[in-house]
Amino acid sequence: MPITDILIKNATAFADDVSLVELNPEIQEHHEHKWKEYQLVEPGHAKGYRFKITWRQFNEKANKVANMLLAKGLTKGNKVAILLMNCLEWLPIYFGILKTGAVVVPLNFRYTSEEIKYCLGLSESDALFFGPEFIDRIDEIKDSLDQTGELIFVGEDCPPYAQSYDALTQAASTEEPEIPISDDEDAAIYFSSGTTGFPKAILHTHASLVSSCETEQNHHGQTKDDIFLCIPPLYHTGAKMHWFGSLLTGGKAVLLRGVKPRWILKAASEEDVTIVWLLVPWAQDMLDCIEDGKVDLNDYNLSKWRLMHIGAQPVPPSLIKRWKKHFPNHAYDTNYGLSESIGPGCVHLGVENIHKVGAIGIPGYHWEVSIVDENGTPVPDGSVGELIVKGPGVMKCYFNDEAATNASLKDGWLYTGDMAKKDEDGFIYLVDRKKDVIICGGENIYPVQIEDFLHAHEDVKDVAVIGMPDHRLGEISAAIVELKPGSDCTEEDLAYYCKGLPRYKRPRRIIFADVPRNPTGKIEKPKLRETYCGESLVEAQTKS
């Protein structure tokens, strides 16, 4: 069945139950009064900080989006992109696009204008939904978006070159569009990048999306009574695919716009949250605030909170020991995955295996895992090889990139590019990344992009960017810079120059030193990591 059928089922079985809540704690703190509940008519119109919709409203809004797009001739064969911050409109728009039979294309809200343009072109998107936070970026490229014919603005004060989402959907029908969709039809394109930093368009089917619902629910046992706190961005497979467990069971989810520890604890307390998915930095911040006395757990009712799980980057065992000290009754899990494997869950630790913290875990529900050498032959336990996975959530292909597809998909196996080893109990540990991607606070940073930027500086002779261990963020980017002879360039000079990069791509450390290269001209990054990090990734992971 297509994933849209699950939404229709919930709208029938749980019509008047709340499906989604949006919380805006920054607005709440600004007004300095008790949280107030608004019955949603159209999101964004009321100036409040808590909005909600029922499953019936969710489905009706998705139908309005679908029927509006169909009236514009957008259906099977088309691609429709979403560039929005987390909000109540996000998921109804996502499902509305799917109901037309078109392919939905979520975009990273950190993308620059040029990256937005590139991804719209790569995915061959025919329309774009975008919000007010992105007006400046779309302004820069609007005249070159010839192929992306429909620009639909979600918010007030629609720019003149776009169409108003509110106006377009106001008169649209709430009836089911009745477009027949089969399991193997294309559903979504997500973006990933390799060592070059250029995004690849990852194509998934409806069967792949449904499989992630089933995997998530199997791993974490969601029921109708569970309430999921969703903090990460919905463009990311991690956040959405964890929410898919709530979709499958008809449970409520809370979209929290903000990551401050007191906001997370307040939302969990006042919304009776049972499940929270965190990134390592957010968990670190919460523990630091608790231990520094900046928040008092006695101020919150967290009795319903049963599960905390983490993904997107390696988890220090010491963090979980600290967490269990303050939250002894919480079950814990960690999840490993890629956008190519429809996000988290192809490998997971399992709530019953907390004694193995440091490992990424065992094969997920309906998944197979192997660790192989360069010839694709499985290596013995304890030996390092490339992690490969096979299961119902493996991508169909890299869209319009046969060479990349053939390099990553072999006999149904997805080659992850991550180096790993397996212990005698069958638990898998990441050793290093075959690709040089840096994971900082759950966000991928591609060294070559920073290297190329710094190479353009007149005083820079050579540069290499590596990831360095960081207590809070997991990793930070460090630039090893070799200056031209006679240069008096300083760290402050380069830090100021790097303001030309998006904030999250700016190197957190700048080190002046020679950049080692091998005889073929490749940077010897393992040597740099050994010099400046002092330990391998697996050593950092298994420290307690």
219 and 98 inside one domain: yes
Asked if the model's pLDDT at residue 40 lies above 80, the reply is no
* Same-domain pairing of 69 and 167: yes
* Residue at 169: amino acid letter: T
- What is the mean pLDDT of the segment spanning 384-405? 95
CA–CA distances in Å: residue 388 to residues 398, 418, 429, 521: 17, 8, 13, 29
3-state secondary structure of 261: helix
- Residue 343 is predicted with a pLDDT of 87
Same domain as 332, residue 407: yes
In a domain, 274, yes or no: no
Structure pTM?
Answer: 0.83
**CB–CB of 419/435 below 8 Å?**
no
Is 429 found in the same domain as 471? no
**The domain that contains 401 carries what CATH number?**
2.30.38.10
Q: What is the mean pLDDT of residues 403-428?
A: 94
Per-residue confidence at 462, pLDDT binned at 50, 70, 90?
Answer: confident
Radius of gyration, alpha carbons of the chain: 23
Q: Is residue 430 classed as helix, strand or coil in its secondary structure?
A: strand
Mean pLDDT for the stretch of residues 278-303: 92
38 has a pLDDT exceeding 50: no
N-terminal to C-terminal alpha carbon distance within the chain: 45
442: left (phi over 0), alpha (psi -120 to 50) or beta: left
| In a shared domain, residues 327 and 416 | yes
118 and 63 co-located in one domain: yes
Q: How far is CA 175 from CA 62, 84, 170, 270, in A?
A: 10, 25, 13, 35
Is pLDDT of 432 > 90? no
Per mean pLDDT, which range of 25-39, 116-130, 363-377, 478-492 is the poorest? Answer: 25-39
Domain assignment present for 239: no
- Residue 125 is part of a domain; what is its CATH number? 3.40.50.12780
Q: How far apart are CA 194 and CA 417, in angstroms?
A: 9
3-class state of residue 375 by DSSP? coil
Which one-letter DSSP state was computed for residue 431? Answer: E
Cβ(387)–Cβ(368) below 8 Å: no
Does any domain span residue 36? Answer: no
User: 433: pLDDT confidence band, cut at 50, 70 and 90?
Assistant: low
CATH for 536 = 3.30.300.30
Provide the pLDDT for residue 539.
43
Distance CA 173, CA 491 (A): 59
pLDDT digits (tens, 9 = 90+) for 80-90: 999 999 999 99
* Residue 518 confidence class, pLDDT cut points 50, 70, 90: low
Q: How confident is the model at residue 48 (pLDDT cuts 50, 70, 90)?
A: low
- Under 8 Å between Cβ of 251 and 226: yes
- For residue 344, give Cα distances in angstroms to 127, 190, 348, 540: 28, 14, 8, 22
Same domain, 179 and 64: yes
Among 205, 226, 247, give the residue marking a domain's end: 226
**Domains in the chain, number:** 3
- Polymer length of the chain: 544
- Average pLDDT, rounded, for the chain: 89
pLDDT in the model for residue 536? 45
What three-state secondary structure class fits 291? Answer: helix
Query: In which element (H, E) is residue 203 found?
Result: strand 199-205
Contacts of 520 by beta carbon, 8 Å cutoff, 6+ apart: none
Arithmetic mean of pLDDT, 251-271: 95
For residue 196, the model assigns a pLDDT of: 43
In a shared domain, residues 88 and 196:
yes
| Sequence-distant (≥ 6) Cβ neighbours of residue 529 within 8 angstroms | 466, 467, 536
**3-class DSSP string for 476-532:** EEEEEEEECCCCCCCHHHHHHHHHHCCHHHCCCEEEECCCCECCCCCECHHHHHHHH
Predicted pLDDT at 369: 97
Whether residues 67 and 199 fall in one domain: yes
Tell whether 26 is covered by a domain.
no
Beta bridge partners of 466: 478
Amino acid 90: pLDDT: 97
> Is 440 in contact with 474 (CB distance < 8 Å)?
yes
Percent of the chain with pLDDT over 70: 91
Range of the domain at 410: 309-433
Burial class (CB in 10 A: 0-12, 13-18, 19+), 165: buried
Among all chains, which residue has been given the structure tokens 């959907």? 169
> In this structure, what are the phi and psi dihedrals at residue 64, rounded to the nearest 5 degrees?
-60, -45
Quick: pLDDT tens for 210-237.
999 999 999 999 999 999 999 989 998 8
Q: Does 133 lie in the same domain as 9? A: yes
Same domain, 313 and 373: yes
- C-alpha 307/C-alpha 123 separation (Å) is 36
Among the candidates 192, 226, 260, a domain finishes at: 226
397 and 450 in one domain? no
Residue 371: phi and psi, rounded to 5, are -120, 120
